[in-house]
Structure 1
Amino acid sequence: QLVVAIGNPLGFESTVTAGVVSALGRSIRSVSGRTIEDVIQTDAALNPGNSGGPLVSSNGQVIGINTAIINGAQGICFAVASNTAQFVLSEIIRHGYVRRAYIGVAGQTAPVPRRHAVLAGVENKMGALLMQIEPDSPAARASLLPGDVVIRLDGVEINGVDDLIRALDHSRIDRTLSMDVLRLGRLRAIEIHPVGRKPAKQ
């Protein structure tokens, strides 16, 4: 699909560049380390100053918000999908921030040892390894421990930290969820009750 990017690259006001939608459903990592989901990849040229401008389809519909480029690459640019932008805007208007379900853990993506997967009867090759549990958090109250590997949450397969973050969206705030974890190679079913928490100011 043909698209047009509009913005003020390098201070040149009202500049228009054209290209095509190269791919949909990409994930990129922001400067802060957060994953941005469901972005549009395009080869419409973007430069500093394009960010925040619209990515428009050939029939005049705004389909995304120009967001990022990969330095040194040719024609690899990204725009946040308009549906995501509308959701974020509505959350900010209603609550002042985007709500996320909070459980109080720090973790990293880690491989699931094959023998543990076979013993537990799971197919995960990767999971979310919990490194730290915050005191008096939902995770602490659910008796999660450092070293536990989360492989499923609320019926969603977890193959890493990004999957866990993605699963903890606003729809799971103040709900009791089932969580499957591997602890010392054994599968354990745990109930956890995520809460909503206002993000800390940067």
Structure 2
Amino acid sequence: MYGLSFLSNTSNRTGKPEHSGATDRDRLDSYSEAVTGAVDAVSPAVVHVGVKGERDGRASQGSGSGVIVSPDGIILTNNHVVDGARDVRVTLADGRSFSARTLGRDADTDIAVLRAETMDHLPTAMLADSKRVKPGQIAIAIGNPLGFQSSVSAGIVSAVGRSLRAQNGGLISDVIQTDAALNPGNSGGALLSSHAEVIGINTAMIMGAQGIAFAVASSTALNVLMQVLAHGRVRRARLGIAGEQVPLRRRAAYAANLSQESGVAIRDLHASSPADRAGLRPGDVIVGIDGTPVTGVDDILRLLGHDAIGKSITVTYFRGDTFAETRVLLDEREK
């Protein structure tokens, strides 16, 4: 990784400061070269996304950013950028502008997939394996904040593996936190590594805070992209319950050798759902799925990805103070 390093000065016999190795200026140049090299490589693939549509019965317009990931015009952006859009137009850094259509949206991850309606061969950005991203590495954001096209900010990855609430109330897992400055209009833009790879799709900032912004990890965005291209949407498994987090009775948890303090109480069952067919009942408190502790509703949602469709899982639960388990054959959640 590139970075700044401040070296202690020593004195030679003439009393003048003596530096060992590269000077501070050399190191700053290395940092600058890393940032400018990544920007030069990726900025042509970052687009302005202009949207016209309708929200709450009124005509609306907005804008954000997007990242071209395929030369035939496949673009990743945020779901909230194109939510309610009737007309979408993307503009490249070189001035070219094309209408675009939405191929698929996923509110649960705040990712949307667009296709620019052009036969031109477009510049592209490469998606990184975000599981290799580490706190402290350089993070470079490119987007169109407040209408200023192709703006760049830089900082570091502050944390990985964060969780963030999407606008639909769902929990986005594996979110990257960064101190690279983001503003309205950056949504859907690229968060880059110093190797000019997209490590995240910028999605949110905390109003009133400084240096706290978030990006959906590139591995999550890639999963959404692949499912949208294959199915037109993101497929997920279904358990078929409505539930809420509740504290566990300490004596019952101790008797079942559980260290967790909460589980998910079933408040309602969808008729003929997987949970209903497996014999679960309202009032049961789910505490585990396939050996993974369940302490809240978000834990269940994380375990119900597309790869769980048609899978038989083991659900452990309390019925009163009785600890039990049952097998549940999952099916697919409706749109």
- For the criterion TM > 0.5, the same-fold answer is yes
Q: TM-score range by the shorter chain?
A: over 0.9
- Distance in 2 between residues matched to 1:118 and 1:186, nearest whole Å: 12
Aligned counterpart, 2:251: 115
Q: SS of the counterpart of 1:94? A: helix
Q: SS of the counterpart of 2:225? A: helix
- Distance in 2 between residues matched to 1:6 and 1:121, nearest whole Å: 49
Given the alignment of the two structures, is residue 142 of structure 1 paired with residue 275 of structure 2, yes or no?
Answer: no
- Distance in 1 between residues matched to 2:210 and 2:322, nearest whole Å: 47
Aligned counterpart, 1:11: 147
Post-superposition CA distance 1:57-102 (Å, at most 9, x none): 1221111110111111111100011111111100111111111110
- Distance in 2 between residues matched to 1:128 and 1:164, nearest whole Å: 9
Q: Tell whether the 8 Å contact from 1:148 to 1:181 is kept in structure 2 after alignment.
A: yes
- Distance in 1 between residues matched to 2:321 and 2:208, nearest whole Å: 44
The Cα shift of 1:122 comes to: 2.4
Q: Which amino acid aligns with 1:138?
A: P
Post-superposition CA distance 1:157-192 (Å, at most 9, x none): 111111111111122211221110111011111111
Q: Tell whether the 8 Å contact from 1:97 to 1:198 is kept in structure 2 after alignment.
A: no
Q: SS of the counterpart of 2:260? A: coil
Aligned counterpart, 1:175: 311
Query: Relative contact order (C-alpha < 8 Å, sep 6+): which is higher?
Result: 1
What is the aligned counterpart of 1:160 among 292, 296, 299?
A: 296
Aligned counterpart, 1:58: 194
Aligned counterpart, 1:85: 221
Q: SS of the counterpart of 1:118? A: helix
Q: SS of the counterpart of 2:323? A: strand
The Cα shift of 1:155 comes to: 2.0
Q: Tell whether the 8 Å contact from 1:156 to 1:167 is kept in structure 2 after alignment.
A: no
Q: Which amino acid aligns with 2:224?
A: V
CA RMSD, Structure 1 to Structure 2 (Å):
1.1
The Cα shift of 1:135 comes to: 1.0
Unaligned runs of 5+ in 1: none
Q: With the length of structure 2 as denominator, give the TM-score of the two structures.
A: 0.58
Runs of 4+ in 1 over 4 A off after TM superposition: none
Q: Which moved more, 1:56-65 or 1:39-48?
A: 56-65
Q: SS of the counterpart of 2:245? A: strand
- Distance in 2 between residues matched to 1:121 and 1:37, nearest whole Å: 28
Given the alignment of the two structures, is residue 185 of structure 1 paired with residue 321 of structure 2, yes or no?
Answer: yes
Given the alignment of the two structures, is residue 97 of structure 1 paired with residue 220 of structure 2, yes or no?
Answer: no
Aligned counterpart, 2:81: none
Given the alignment of the two structures, is residue 21 of structure 1 paired with residue 168 of structure 2, yes or no?
Answer: no
Q: Which amino acid aligns with 2:323?
A: L
- Distance in 1 between residues matched to 2:313 and 2:225, nearest whole Å: 27
Q: Which moved more, 1:115-124 or 1:48-57?
A: 115-124
Q: Tell whether the 8 Å contact from 1:120 to 1:185 is kept in structure 2 after alignment.
A: no
Q: Which moved more, 1:38-47 or 1:137-146?
A: 137-146
Post-superposition CA distance 1:113-136 (Å, at most 9, x none): 101112333222111111111111
Aligned counterpart, 1:194: 330
- Distance in 2 between residues matched to 1:15 and 1:74, nearest whole Å: 18
Q: Tell whether the 8 Å contact from 1:119 to 1:186 is kept in structure 2 after alignment.
A: no
Given the alignment of the two structures, is residue 40 of structure 1 paired with residue 168 of structure 2, yes or no?
Answer: no
Q: Which protein is bigger by CA-based radius of gyration?
A: 2
Q: Which amino acid aligns with 1:23?
A: A
Count of matched residue pairs: 199
Q: Which amino acid aligns with 2:167?
A: V
Percent identical residues: 50
Q: Tell whether the 8 Å contact from 1:45 to 1:75 is kept in structure 2 after alignment.
A: yes
The Cα shift of 1:31 comes to: 1.5
Post-superposition CA distance 1:12-60 (Å, at most 9, x none): 1111111110000000111210000001000111111101110011221
Q: Which moved more, 1:146-155 or 1:17-26?
A: 146-155
